Amino acid sequence: MSAFHFLRPEYLLLLLPAWSLVWWLLKQQSDEKKWQKVIEPKMLKHLLVTSEGNQSKIAAPWHLGLILTLLILAVSGPSWKLKDSPFTQDDTKIALLVSVKKSMLSSDIMPNRLERSTIKISDLLAQRKDTQSALIAYSGTAHLVLPLTHDHSIIKTFAQTLSPDIMPLEGDNIQEALLLAEKELNAKASTIIILTDAVSPSLVKSALKTGFDKATNVIFWQIASNELSNSNDFKSASALLDAHTVAYRRDNSDVSQVSALIDKNFKNAAQDDKNRYEDGGFYLLPIIFILLLLWARQGFMAELWRRG
């Protein structure tokens, strides 16, 4: 029940006037309050006679208060679970940003960093068969290689052709790549995955200054050996973007970690989207209907004003 919340919490304010009405009706029922104005209080308790047989066990205003409370709770939209998707297809979107610098040809991880990036992309897409994916290559400039697509085979094919030789300018223009990926994804539940051997925190800060949204989900995938990689730069860049850093692993544990982060980002975005939650107010309707049957009992309306 940690996800319990109200879809329309502003309607809960109606509880104040509802229970003010109940309190006023209860005050109207008191014969003692009425006669206190004309009879000495010490004598009043001896003069008033109540008919125990005719008194309701629960005063009518309390019934009314319960009904109004349940109605207000129902209208406020209590919710605690996400709607079941009518589709079995994965709704997540990712952008794969591949650094195509000359340093990515280093062979500290075999066969080299760039080819290992391609292999990791292939392994990730194999785990996420329905995820829409886009491919972006960047060096001194950033280029959209493939827009969002479910065709993972074509992404793998184009990723294998990436080389520093085809890039028009050598460099590390990660800020342009981030902005290009954000524009392509255009969805809160999406994730940007940057496969690179190094990252410059100052360039990441430049991306933020030029309009990159810090709330965008970003994962830095560190494609280099631990000995030759500057982990501090990755930590600093991640802190700037509230991102995650995943270190390269020889096995597929890093692939599984990236996939889990994608799912987490999607789930967090879904929890923030009220339209994805089921309105639980409908479950209160049978209870409200049963209580409303009391209105059909003879004398119930009169009992609201005076009991006995």
Domain range for 166 is 93-274
- Is residue 2, in this structure, part of any structural domain at all? no
Q: Are 3 and 80 in contact, with CB atoms under 8 Å apart?
A: yes
Residues 54 and 167 in one domain: no
Residues 6+ apart with CB under 8 A from 127: 255, 256, 259
For the whole prediction, is pTM greater than 0.85?
A: no
Residue 30 belongs to a domain: yes
Which whole number is the average pLDDT over 4-25?
89
Q: Is residue 87 part of a domain?
A: no
Q: What is the pLDDT of residue 32?
A: 56
Give the pLDDT band (50/70/90) at residue 179. Answer: very high
| Number of domains into which the chain is organized | 2
Per cent of the chain over pLDDT 90 is 58
Is residue 234 domain-shared with residue 253, that is, in the same domain?
Answer: yes
Band (86; pLDDT cuts 50, 70, 90): very low
Q: Taking residues 93-114, report their average pLDDT.
A: 96
- CATH number, domain containing residue 247: 3.40.50.410
Is 209 in the same domain as 158? yes
Q: Does one domain contain both 157 and 299?
A: no
DSSP category for residue 82 = B
Residues 154, 238, single domain; the answer is yes
Between residues 302 and 87, which one has the greater pLDDT?
A: 302
33 and 120 part of one domain: no
Question: Which pLDDT does position 24 carry in this prediction?
Answer: 86
How high is the pLDDT of residue 268? 76
**Which H/E stretch holds residue 59?**
none
Q: Are residues 48 and 157 in the same domain?
A: no
**The dihedral formed by the CA atoms of 76, 82, 84 and 87, expressed in degrees to the nearest 10:** 120
- For residue 4, being part of any structural domain is answered with no
Q: Are residues 51 and 117 in the same domain?
A: no
Same domain, 216 and 174: yes
- Mean pLDDT, residues 221-247: 95
Co-location of 67 and 202 in the same domain:
no
> 298 and 101 in contact (C-beta within 8 Å)?
no
> In the prediction, which pLDDT does 89 show?
45
| Mean of the per-residue pLDDT values of the chain | 85
* Those residues with Cβ within 8 angstroms of residue 31's Cβ, 6 or more apart along the chain or in another chain: 48, 306, 308
- Min mean pLDDT across 50-64, 214-228, 268-282 is at 50-64
Same domain, yes or no: 301 and 212: no
